[in-house]
Amino acid sequence: MTLLLALFALTHAGYLAAGWSIGLLAIGAYALSVLVRGRALSKRVPLSRQRWMNSLPDEDEQS
C-alpha cells in the first residue's frame, strides 16, 4: 500500500488519474445532460419539425 502511494507520488499518477477522470466525467455529464434535454423537448415537437430525421419528407421546405 505504501509502495503504491510512493509510486503515485513519484509518477504523478494520482494527479494524472484525477485530471483525466474529472475532465472526461465533466464532459460526459454535460453530453448526457444535452441528450436528456433533447429527449425531453423532442417529445413535445411534431416529427415533421425535426428536420434532422432525414427519413421524413421535408414538408415545410416551401414556406
Partner 1 sequence: MTTPTEVENPRSEPAAAADFFAVNSIADASVSTGSATTKVLGWLTLAGLVVLLVFAFIISPEDSRETADGAIIGQFDAVRLLYLHVPAAVFAYVAFALTGLGSIIYLWKRSRWWDHVAHSSAEIGVVFCGVTLLTGVIWGRPVWNTWWEWGDVRIVTTLLLFLIFVGYLAFRSVPSEPRRQARNASVLAIIGALNIPVVNRSVEWWENRTLHQQSTLEELKIEDATLLTLMIGFAVFGLMFLWLLIHRFRVAWLAEEVEQHGLKQALRRRREEAQREAMVS
Q: How far is the CB of 5 from partner 1 (least distance, A)?
A: 15
Alpha helix (H) residue ranges in the chain:
2-11, 13-42
Pick the closer one to partner 1 by CB: 2 or 35: 35
Residues 6+ apart with CB under 8 A from 49: 60
CA distance 48 to 55: 10
Interface residues with partner 1 (CB under 8 A)?
11-13, 15-16, 18-20, 22-24, 26-27, 30-31, 34-35, 37-39, 41-54, 58-60, 63
Pick the closer one to partner 1 by CB: 2 or 39: 39
